[in-house]
Structure 1
Amino acid sequence: MATNLSVRSYAGDRDLSAIADLINTCEAVDRLEEGISISELQQEFNQPSLDLARDICLWEDASGKLIGFAQLSISEPAEVTDGWLWFRVHPQMRGGDVEASAIAWGEVRMREVSAVRGSPVKLRSSTRADECDRISLLTSCGFKADRYFFRMARSLAEPIPEPQFPEGFVLRQFPGEEDAEAWVEMFNQSFIDHWNHHDLTVEKFKYHFAQPDYRNDLDLIAVAADGTFAAFCYCEINPEENDRTGRNEGWIAVLGTRRGFRKLGLGRAMLLAGLQRLKAAGVETAILGVDAANPSGALRLYESAGFHNIRNSISYIKDV
């Protein structure tokens, strides 16, 4: 680390403006669609699993200007703990010490987690496939490509087929917070077979449920005849993000069918129902992300529903 740079922990809300400014300065150069507002950043930092004192790190120059930011999202205790490292460095300060220092900080923090939990840890970081400098940095620091993802889009001006639900299943809006445990159990049973699954907790679910952009009309479930939550499609619209980009987009944030209810057509029906709700909300384009090697056939489903790939990204991993 250069002698004119200092490193410190997050100091609370007084740092929010400087962090948002740094991220948006990087966005103006990188065009990664990762800009942020202070309110969005505050929501991110209020996540129940984030240790503000240990999971955020800041780098400043000699004048006290923020030139680097890193954050770790650490999975719940399990056989292996993952830490997802996200970091941004001011464009004028890249190619020096700060990027390597951010990665080294992430490694040290994950070793602390390993010592406390007594389990192996892995450090992860993702990048768009066209971020050549970031890819070179990660590989030079010992990361290896682990998984590939697509971002897909579909115009909602195109016709949306009517959802066809199997006999005995009913489409409903999520009843509310009192059914949080049933929703979380459905989510975990739906993704238990997927790559790098970590169980969702009721605490995390309730945190997201309480966010200001949450809309019950976009939170859909398919209920079996016996009352079991069998499949779901949760959609999101972020007005602040749409204002930044000048586009009118909504997300198919999560879509899943639990074990024992697959191969019945529920996934397609829930997807189409979600698209109809986004269109009814005035959205012009639906966006989603998908694991390119998803074993459930999700990519084929999305393509058959009119989605096309608009961006590739890569998840990198390092044993620490």
Structure 2
Amino acid sequence: MATNLSVRSYAGDRDLSAIADLVNTCEAVDRLEEGTSISQLQQEFDAPSLDKTRDLCLWENANGKLIAFAKLSVSEPGEVTDGWLWFRVHPEARGGEVEASAIAWGEARMQEIAKERGTPVKLRSYVRAEDGDRISLLVNSGFQADRYFFRMARSLSEPIPKPQFPEGFWLRQVSCEQDATAWVEMFNQSFIDHWNHHDLTVEEFNYYSNLPNYRNDLDAIAVAADGTFAAFCYCEINPEENDRTGRNEGWIGVLGTRRGFRKIGLGRAMLLAGLQRLKAAGVDTAILGVDAENPSGALRLYESTGFRKIRNSISYVKDV
């Protein structure tokens, strides 16, 4: 670590402007579509799962200028604790030393968590498949690729088939206050057998459903005859992101079918219902992300409804 660099913890809202400027400076060079804003950062940092005093780190040069920032997203306690490391280094400060310090910070933080929880820990990091420099950095730091993901897109100008729900199921919007506990149970039962699943909490659901971009008209569930929440599709539109990219896109944020209700057409019906809602909201293109090895056949479903791959990402992991 160079002597003219200082490392410190997050000091509160007064750091937001400098972090946003750094991220956007990196975005102007890297073109990863990961620009941000002060309000977006504030929402990320206020998430209940983030320990702002220990899961954020800043690097400054001798003049007090922010030249790197890292965030660690730590999973809820379980048999294994995962920490997802995200960091950006100013283009003029790149070259390995600061990047290595960011990774070392992530490793040290995860080792703290291992002692606190008494469980094995893994440090993870996502990277775009075309980002050769970041891939080399991770590999040289002892990381290994362990999962691949696709981002997919579908034009909403193309016809959207009418959703066909199995007999006995009906579609309705989510009522956040009344449905929180049942929705979270459905979510966890839907993803329990998926790769790297960590249970969602009611506290997290309540937080995210109160964010400015949350729209009740884009949050739908399929309910069985006995009242069981069987499937869901939550969509999101981020006006700030659309302004930055100059596009008009909406996300299929989360789509799932509960155990015991699969293979009867609910996933397709919910996806088509979500596409209809995004189109009605005025967006031009639907976007989603999918695990390339998803065991439920999600990739086939998306391709069969008109989605096409536009980007590949890789999850890298290191035991610490």
CA distance in 2, matches of 1:178, 1:90: 45
Aligned identity (percent) is 82
In the TM superposition, 1:222-241 aligns within 5 A as 222-241=222-241
CA distance in 1, matches of 2:68, 2:38: 17
Residue in 2 that maps onto 1:170: 170
The CA deviation at 1:123 is 0.2
- Is it true that 1:271 corresponds to 2:271 in the alignment? yes
Contact 2:173/2:216 (<8 A) preserved: yes
In the TM superposition, 1:96-115 aligns within 5 A as 96-115=96-115
Contact 2:214/2:236 (<8 A) preserved: yes
1:256-286 CA-to-partner distances (Å, cap 9, x unmatched) read 0000000000000000000000000000000
Residue in 2 that maps onto 1:56: 56
1:4-52 CA-to-partner distances (Å, cap 9, x unmatched) read 1110000000000000000000000000000001000000000011111
Residue in 2 that maps onto 1:91: 91
- Is it true that 1:219 corresponds to 2:206 in the alignment? no
CA distance in 2, matches of 1:304, 1:266: 15
CA distance in 2, matches of 1:91, 1:130: 18
Residue in 1 that maps onto 2:67: 67
Contact 1:177/1:209 (<8 A) preserved: no
Residue in 1 that maps onto 2:281: 281
- Is it true that 1:242 corresponds to 2:242 in the alignment? yes
Contact 1:234/1:274 (<8 A) preserved: yes
The CA deviation at 1:177 is 1.7
CA distance in 2, matches of 1:115, 1:176: 36
Residue in 2 that maps onto 1:122: 122
Could you say what secondary structure the match of 2:34 adopts? coil
CA distance in 2, matches of 1:97, 1:46: 30
The CA deviation at 1:175 is 2.0
In the TM superposition, 1:161-200 aligns within 5 A as 161-200=161-200
RMSD between superposed Cα atoms in Å:
0.5
Could you say what secondary structure the match of 2:286 adopts? strand
1:265-309 CA-to-partner distances (Å, cap 9, x unmatched) read 000000000000000000000000000011100000000000000
Could you say what secondary structure the match of 1:268 adopts? helix
Residue in 2 that maps onto 1:304: 304
Q: Which amino acid aligns with 2:138?
A: L
Q: Which amino acid aligns with 1:83?
A: G
The CA deviation at 1:236 is 0.3
Q: Which amino acid aligns with 2:71?
A: Q
1:124-165 CA-to-partner distances (Å, cap 9, x unmatched) read 000000000000000000000010000000000000000000
Contact 1:150/1:291 (<8 A) preserved: yes
TM-score (structure 2 length as normaliser) = 1.00
Could you say what secondary structure the match of 2:252 adopts? strand
Q: Which amino acid aligns with 2:256?
A: G
Contact 2:25/2:90 (<8 A) preserved: yes
How many residues are matched?
320
Could you say what secondary structure the match of 1:255 adopts? strand
Residue in 2 that maps onto 1:206: 206
The CA deviation at 1:176 is 2.3
CA distance in 2, matches of 1:197, 1:176: 23
TM-score (structure 1 length as normaliser) = 1.00
Residue in 2 that maps onto 1:134: 134
1:81-135 CA-to-partner distances (Å, cap 9, x unmatched) read 0000000000111113110000000000000000000000000000000000000
CA distance in 2, matches of 1:226, 1:39: 41
